Amino acid sequence: MKVLAGTVRKLLRRRASGHIVNLLAKLHPGDVSNILLELNDRDQLAVFAVLVEREKRLAALALTDLGIERCVGLLTAIPPAEVAKVLQEMETDDRALFVSSLPQEIADQVMEQMRLEESLQVQGLLQYDEETAGRIMTPHVFALREDLSVSEAIHTIQTTQDLEMVFYLYVVDERNHLVGVASLRQLLMVPPSTSLKKVMTGNVISVRTETDQEEVAALVALYDLLAIPVVDHENKLVGVITVDDVIDVIKDEATEDILHLAGVEADDHVHGNALTSVRKRLPWLGVNLGTALLAATVVALYEPTIAAIPQLAIFLPVVAGMGGNSGTQTLTVIVRSLALGETTWKNARSVVFKEMKVGLFNGLSLGLLAGLIAFFWKGSYILGGVMAAAMICNMLVAGLMGTLVPLVLKKLNVDPAIASGIFLTTFTDVVGFFSFLGLAAYLLR
Amino acid sequence: MKVLAGTVRKLLRRRASGHIVNLLAKLHPGDVSNILLELNDRDQLAVFAVLVEREKRLAALALTDLGIERCVGLLTAIPPAEVAKVLQEMETDDRALFVSSLPQEIADQVMEQMRLEESLQVQGLLQYDEETAGRIMTPHVFALREDLSVSEAIHTIQTTQDLEMVFYLYVVDERNHLVGVASLRQLLMVPPSTSLKKVMTGNVISVRTETDQEEVAALVALYDLLAIPVVDHENKLVGVITVDDVIDVIKDEATEDILHLAGVEADDHVHGNALTSVRKRLPWLGVNLGTALLAATVVALYEPTIAAIPQLAIFLPVVAGMGGNSGTQTLTVIVRSLALGETTWKNARSVVFKEMKVGLFNGLSLGLLAGLIAFFWKGSYILGGVMAAAMICNMLVAGLMGTLVPLVLKKLNVDPAIASGIFLTTFTDVVGFFSFLGLAAYLLR
């Protein structure tokens, strides 16, 4: 890829756009995306403009692998009429995704320029909520009537265009209700006069248009499907979601969880605008500042103690921080297992006990170690003892709260990935400060 | 599922194992796994034992959806001879995975009890490194010779057993070198006497046995494949990896990154043993304690300042913590974008500048706010000013280090997910303590 990107860069300098098109047209669209990613923003746009001018289909296919943020950047830089032509080369679900990601004004202009049929299809998908099956499905689903014979079915397959990606043959009744599914191989295994009704498997796993995309992905993964049909409230077949779209959903959901755990919104993109990122991250940091100051009021209660023994200030952040670290370990294990469906309210009790045990053991080991260090460093066995006791206490509580907080949030239908961290660190700060300073004040009075 | 799990529980109490088998045998294996997950450990084992006794194939299929940790628990509870029989019902790649996950002693016993052919196949896969294509492929790959005619090929397909999951027909030469690929539909579109050589697409995307599984997943996702053939160093076809296995890889890699970011090892399982988790988490916490105490030495330098103005201890953890939080936001965005291949050394410069800008803006907003709060709370404008300046400084550095640390680690071939956090919080602690206490000491002397 790097060599090819270098060649493309040289051709750009020489303004040899014809050669660029020839070179890229020989590659797989996925490789074209990879080359675009190797280029800087200006070169990327230049190459994309050349593709849009001469190879609309390749431009469209390359886009779908580029990531939405970058694509929006490229699409807003070319005229809406050209954007419409590029989008027309895409699958309907991708087209809807791109239209919905463009700024409203540009999206409207693009829709106006599209052929009527295609803009209606896009509007059809956009009527469904974001992150539902209806939004990510493609409405081009290949279905056969149940009263067809196998030979008629095979003939239909042979004469229909654009069928490369057909894995399952969905079977419908005369009113388009989904009634069964068959594989191409099944058709080859029976006499040609057999009716599809006899060949098909009747029990089709399907989803409704309003099914959450995460649930769709879970079903496809659980049943090892290559595609899943989408039906409306009357069980009429309206679309299909293929496994490649499911892979995107799984990646996106994982990204969402990873970013949420750090208090970042899922659409905060690394190559996006700085001010947009500020707007997205500032609220969470603001809440954090609030909880940190709240915890600081605990410290304020013990100002006289600190004035008497300023060494306490050295170890204070250590006690609070270690509780936060060990609680975050627990929290992350729980949040991920909730996302994967491995932990439920049902088996939660044993998990809570386990994590408290882990917190206690870790607290004992590191608390005693830290206590010894504090003792040897400052020569006060009381300081050492307070350090050890506070750390043990805080890490035990961290294990408990690291489990309970995400479980309770999940029960309350709040995304545990996004909100758990704030609650947890507030707990570990407060418990850390209280146990350390309170004990010190009591013993060192 | 919950209703069914309740029924199964009732049948267990009545010891009606025949009814349990009848009930479960009607379901999809994925549903059987879901029911098992709803049961407590004892019931789970009881139901599994019944399945092993009477429905080995279903037991095998249900296992593959249960998650490895839980399966190992179930498998070690039944006799090795029975385990061997259950594993024989699985695909070779799953069988190898389970054997390699069992404790060595039990694994040896199980391998002894397996039919020779199957234990050889398992040994064949286990010779490849973990997390490579060779380890996760299934060696049962359906391939056709290039000199066959289309009608011969179709006849082979009709007469070969166990072909339900064939998506692509791989074509090989007389020495089993991979030379092409064709779809079932392609065969139907040409006259029956055509040779496969003429129908097939010559340019097959394949991976080598030693290719990293993450790379395999990236290729399958990029090219929207349903399966990818695996070849040895001579380009001989030795196996195939299907998209359902790729989905597992994508999930596992995401889980690994999520857990690593919190300093937890990927195989630290929520339902595992507490002491195992302690052993896995303690080293990371120990390193954290070390770096926290290192940062604390900075505080120790300013003991006299704190003794004079004990209020500093109230705000000290806030300054350090806010730097840590804002740096972790940056860090997480960068680590995820590195994993998704969106950020490279090439486009890193603009990312560093962007994150520094974000850090500066966030620092300005929250630093000034925190400064005002400190001023109104404690009535000292110097304290307020020091607070604001230290937070701005720390959050700017957090943006810089949150980007640089993972980029440099990636460049050094260290997993940025696992090691970045420690370095980052050490930086934000030290910078936070130094800027806050240093400035305070200078101004409030």
CB B196 within 8 A of CB B178: no
Task: Give the pLDDT confidence score for residue B367 in this predicted structure.
Answer: 96
Distance (Å) from the alpha carbon of B180 to chain A's nearest alpha carbon: 16
- Token pair, residue A110, equals 């693009």
What does the pLDDT read at residue B441? 92
**pLDDT tens readout for residues B224-280:** 888 999 999 999 999 999 898 899 899 888 888 888 888 888 778 787 788 888 988
pTM over cut 0.80: no
Q: With cut-offs at 50, 70 and 90, classify the pLDDT of residue A371.
A: very high
The rounded distance, in Å, linking the Cα atoms of A353 and A355 is 6
pLDDT in the model for residue B147? 92
- Kindly list the distances between the CA atom of residue B395 and the CA atoms of A422, B329, B364, B389, in Å, as whole numbers in the listed order: 18, 11, 9, 10
Residue B246: the pLDDT is 92
B438 CB within 8 Å of a chain A CB: no
- Residue B117: predicted pLDDT: 77
Q: Does B351 touch chain A (CB under 8 A)?
A: yes
Residue B294 near chain A (CB below 8 Å): no
Nearest to A318 by CA among B401, B262, B291, B428: B291
Quick one: pLDDT at residue B52? Answer: 85
What is the DSSP pairing of strand B169-172 with strand B178-182?
A: antiparallel
Q: Is B151 on the interface with A (CB under 8 A)?
A: no
Tokens standing for residue A91: 């699958």
Query: What does the block give as tokens for B356?
Result: 């520094």
Whether residues B310 and A316 touch (CB distance < 8 A) is answered with no
A291: tokens are 């909880």
Chain B residue with the nearest C-alpha to that of A61: B223
Q: What confidence score (pLDDT) does residue A109 get?
A: 84
Pick from B190, B256, B267, B270 the residue to mutate for testing the A interface (most A CBs within 10 Å): B270
pLDDT of residue A237: 94
Backbone angles phi, psi at B236, to 5 degrees: -85, 140
The answer to whether residue A63 neighbours chain B at the CB level (below 8 Å) is: no
Residue indicated by tokens 């419409």: A84
pLDDT in tens, A388-441: 999 999 999 999 999 999 999 999 988 888 888 888 999 999 999 999 999 999
Rg (CA), chain B: 30
B contacts of A261 (beta carbons < 8 Å): 258, 261-262, 332
Q: What pLDDT score does A80 carry?
A: 84
B158 interface with A at CB cutoff 8 Å: yes
How would residue A203 be classed by pLDDT, with cut points 50, 70 and 90? confident
- CB A304 to CB B310 under 8 A? yes
Average pLDDT (A362-386) is 94
Taking contacts as CB-CB distances below 8 angstroms, the residues of chain B near A270 are: 333-334, 337, 342-343, 351
Which ranges of B14-91 does DSSP label H, i.e. alpha helix? 17-25, 29-38, 41-54, 56-64, 68-75, 80-88
Q: B34 and A222: CB-CB below 8 Å?
A: yes
Q: Which residue in A226, A281, A328 is closest to B262 by CB distance?
A: A328
Tell whether A67 lies on the interface with B, counting CB pairs under 8 A. Answer: yes
**Partners of residue B422 in chain A, C-beta under 8 Å:** none
CA distance A286 to chain B (A): 7
Give the ipTM of the model, two decimals please.
0.77
Which residue in the block uniquely carries the two structure tokens 């890699």? Answer: B253
Quickly tell me which residue has 């146990």 as its tokens. A435
pLDDT at B165: 57
Q: Is B311 on the interface with A (CB under 8 A)?
A: yes
Kindly tell me if the per-residue pLDDT of A94 is higher than 70.
yes
User: Cβ of B292 and A344 within 8 Å?
Assistant: no
CA-atom Rg of chain A in angstroms: 30
- A187 in contact with chain B, both atoms CB, cutoff 8 A: no
Query: A383 touching B, CB under 8 A?
Result: no
Summarize pLDDT for A17-29 with one digit per residue, the tens.
888 888 888 888 8
A163, pLDDT greater than 70: no
> How far is it, in rounded angstroms, from Cα A217 to Cα A215?
5
A167 against A32, higher pLDDT: A32
Q: Is the predicted pLDDT of residue A346 greater than 60, yes or no?
A: yes
Query: In angstroms, what CA-CA distances link A99 with A112, A126, A213, A386?
Result: 12, 9, 19, 61
Residues of chain B with pLDDT under 50: none
A312-339 helix and A416-444 helix, angle to the nearest 10 degrees: 150
Report yes or no: A348 at the B interface, CB cutoff 8 Å. no
Mean pLDDT for A190-208 is 91
* Pair B239, B137: CB distance under 8 Å: yes
**Residue B45: how many CB atoms within 10 A of its CB?**
16
Higher pLDDT residue, B410 or A64? Answer: B410
Q: To the nearest whole angstrom, how far is the Cα of B130 from the nearest Cα of chain A?
A: 22
Band of residue A65 on the pLDDT scale cut at 50, 70, 90 = confident
